[in-house]
Amino acid sequence: MSRKAVANQAACVIEATGMYVPDRVLNNHDLEKIVDTSDEWIRTRTGIVERRIGEASETSGTMGAHAARQALERAGIAPQEVDLVICATITPDMPFPSTASVIQAELGAFNAACFDMEAACAGFIYALQIGAQFLYSGTYDTVLVIGAEKMSSVLDWSDRNTCVLFGDGAGAAVLRRDETGTRRGLISTILGADGRYGSILSVPGGGSKLPPTVETVQRGEHFLKMSGAEVYKQAVLRMQQAASGALKEAGVAAGDLKLLIPHQANRRIIQALVDRLGLRDDQVFINLDRYGNTSAASVIMALHEAVEQGALKRGDLFMFAAFGAGLSWAASLMEY
Ligand code: ACO
């Protein structure tokens, strides 16, 4: 999916971003008291040092609303001007109503249509692409895209294979068409999925296949399950294919990127991607040391921080790349 097909239409641009993480920090030493692990193991295998954990009152909806409010304030856009709220999440507040509608109510964005989008850790990039279609088509003028996750709510805190990897947080972006004709915005996107790998990363219970019962809870089927090594292999392969595809489609060389903003799952996965794309280490943005894997919130939180830190400026080329359960994967090349 490239901008070629809509070359004579205005670009879809990010007007502003927002981010929210809970105050509570859980570091690797805290985890040593919960499961049989060590700070050294977690740092060397993943690069994660600490993550944020939401309080009981904090949900994907409340965190998403905080991030969205900040993005709207920075864009100077009132909640009433929002036409569409898309929330990417695998930890919705509840099966229904959508977390997007929870966020809409918190913001008072009552002129907006709302829905959730689920493509796990690739979810924000999928949602970005969906939001862009509504702008290109002229259906809507202002779209709020949010990635929000309370991963701590689906973790088995006795499983060291998974509980050390994830954290809670939210990020948001306000999308509009560029009416000035000066910005390129979203340039090319590759989305992909392979449902044959569904079982290597899932929360098997709690849906229509295994509705929650005493037995499903006793078997821990409402918790996240993962075959880490399988996911690792697919992650590197699929992100590299998606990222290379997005660059090729746009005719952009990897060396021209100011920043790669990859899904913040594991530092070694990111390094393998950087090596395969032939990028320099200063071309990649990493904040997983402080937040762990926040799934759909990961890349938009990283973009927000990259801009905050001055690592990315208006006019710079950057690329999102992500992978997650599904399996699903995605990459988007953008001019900020
Ligand atoms: N502390 C100490 N030991 C641990 C821990 C831990 N927290 N977790 C696992 N181990 C042990 C295992 O029990 C195993 O021990 P064994 O060999 O005695 O059985 C051993 O460490 C596993 O070691 P490795 O296979 O060498 O671990 P690896 O280098 O593969 O790293 C990891 C594991 C970090 C999970 C890696 O495979 C990975 O990052 N995979 C991708 C995971 C990922 O990104 N998931 C998110 C997807 S995004 C989404 O959609 C939600």
Tell whether 73 and 131 lie within a shared domain.
yes
Tell whether 160 and 196 lie within a shared domain.
no
C-alpha to C-alpha distance for 286 and 267, rounded to whole angstroms: 8
CA of 229 to the centre of ligand 1 (A): 7
Task: Report the pLDDT value the prediction gives residue 23, as an integer from 0 to 100.
Answer: 98
Task: Report the pLDDT value the prediction gives residue 308, as an integer from 0 to 100.
Answer: 97
For the chain, the 3-state helix, strand and coil shares in percent, each to the nearest 5, are 40, 25, 35
Tell whether 219 and 309 lie within a shared domain.
yes
Strand order in the sheet with 328-335: 186-193, 328-335, 317-324, 259-262
Provide the residue type at 246 as one letter. Answer: A
By DSSP bridging, strand 201-202 and strand 225-226 are antiparallel
Instruction: Kindly report the CATH number assigned to the domain that includes residue 289.
Output: 3.40.47.10
CA of 236 to the centre of ligand 1 (A): 15
170 lines ligand 1 (CB under 6 A): no
Can you give the three-state secondary structure of 153-213, one letter per residue? Answer: HHCCCCCHHHHCCECEEEEEEEEEECCCCCCCCEEEEEEEECHHHHHHEECCCCCCCCCCC
Of the residues 121, 144, 178, the one at which a domain ends: 178
Tell whether 71 and 196 lie within a shared domain.
no
Tell whether 225 and 144 lie within a shared domain.
no
Tell whether 122 and 23 lie within a shared domain.
yes
Of 12, 66, 263, 304, the active-site residue reads 263
121 lines ligand 1 (CB under 6 A): yes
Q: Is 293 a catalytic residue?
A: yes
Q: Is 263 a catalytic residue?
A: yes
Of the residues 159, 178, 197, the one at which a domain ends: 178
46 lines ligand 1 (CB under 6 A): yes
Tell whether 64 and 205 lie within a shared domain.
no
Q: Which domain covers residue 328, as residue numbers?
A: 186-335
265 lines ligand 1 (CB under 6 A): yes
89 lines ligand 1 (CB under 6 A): no
Tell whether 52 and 148 lie within a shared domain.
yes
Of 87, 114, 293, 304, the active-site residue reads 293
Tell whether 263 and 195 lie within a shared domain.
yes
Domains: count for the chain: 2
Q: Which of 39, 45, 230 to mutate to test the pocket of ligand 1 (most atoms within 8 A of CB)?
A: 45
- Tell which atom from ligand 1 comes closest to the C-alpha of 151: 51
Q: Is 121 a catalytic residue?
A: yes
Per residue of the chain (336 residues), what is the pLDDT tens digit? 554 455 457 899 999 999 999 999 999 999 999 999 999 999 999 999 999 999 999 999 999 999 999 999 999 999 999 999 999 999 999 999 999 999 999 999 999 999 999 999 999 999 999 999 999 999 999 999 999 999 999 999 999 999 999 999 999 999 999 988 899 999 999 999 999 999 999 999 999 999 999 999 999 999 999 999 999 999 999 999 999 999 999 999 999 999 999 999 999 999 999 999 999 999 999 999 999 999 999 999 999 999 999 999 999 999 999 999 999 999 999 999
Tell whether 197 and 302 lie within a shared domain.
yes
Name the pTM for this structure: 0.95
Task: Report the pLDDT value the prediction gives residue 2, as an integer from 0 to 100.
Answer: 52
Tell whether 151 and 219 lie within a shared domain.
no
167 close to 229: Cβ distance less than 8 angstroms:
no
